[in-house]
Amino acid sequence: MGKVVSSVTGAIGKVVGSFTGATQQAEAAQQAAGVQAGMASEGIAEQRRQFDALTKLMSPYVTAGTGALGQQQALLGLGGAEAQQQAISQIEQSPFFQAMAQQGENAMLQQAAATGGLRGGNMQAALAQFRPGLLNQMVQQQFANLGGLTQIGQASAAGQAAQGMQTAGAVGNLLSQMGAAQAGGLMAKGGINRAVFGDALQVGGMVLGAKKAGMF
C-alpha cells in the first residue's frame, strides 16, 4: 500500500512539477552547481600545475644552495676532520690555486734575483710562508663564494614554502566553494521537491473537494 501511495504521489509530483516549472528549476539548480563545482576543480588543477612549475623552476637554485651549505660546513669542520681536510685539499689541488701559487712564487724569485737576495734567508722564509698564506686566503674566499649560493638557495626554498602556503590556501578556498556548490545544489533540489510535493497535495485536495462537490 505504501509503495502504491508513493508511486501515485511521485507521479502527481512529476505532473505538478512539470506544470509549475519546478522540475526544470531543480534540474537547472543541479546543473549550475555542477558547473560551479567543475570550475572549482579546474581551478585546483591549475593551482597545482603552477606550483609544480614554480618548484621545477626553483629546484636548481635550491639544490645549489643545499650543496653550497654542505661545503661550507665541511670547510668549518662541522662534518668531521676528514671532510674538512678533503675540502681544503680540493682547493689546494685546484688548477686555480696552483696557477696563483706559481705566479706568486715566480714574481718573488724574479724580484729577489733583481735585488741580489735570491739566496737570502728572508727569501726562503717568504717562499715557505707564501703557499700557506695563499691557501688560507683562498679558503676564506671559497667560503664567501659558497655563502652567496647558500643565500640564493635559502631564498629559493623560502619562496617555494611561501608559494606552497599560498597554493594550499587557494586550493582550500576552491574546495570550500566546490562543497558549497554541491551542497547548494542538493539543498535547492530538496527544497523544490518539497514545494512540488506541497503543490501535489494542494492539487489533490482541490480534486477531492471538486469530486465531493459533484463537479465530476
Condensed to tens digits (0 to 9), the pLDDT of residues 88-127 reads 999 999 999 999 999 998 988 888 777 766 566 677 888 8
C-alpha cell at 104: 706568486
pLDDT at residue 181 in the model:
66
Region 26-46: what's the mean pLDDT? Answer: 71
Helix (H/G/I), strand (E/B), else coil: 1: coil
pTM: 0.59
List Cα–Cα distances, 103 to 100, 109, 122, in angstroms. 5, 10, 19
Condensed to tens digits (0 to 9), the pLDDT of residues 15-34 reads 444 444 556 666 666 676 67
Q: Are 68 and 146 in contact (CB under 8 A)?
A: yes
Residues 151 and 157: their CA atoms lie apart, in Å, by 10
Vertex 211 angle, CA 205 and 212, to 5°: 90
State the pLDDT confidence band at 208, using cuts at 50, 70 and 90.
Answer: low
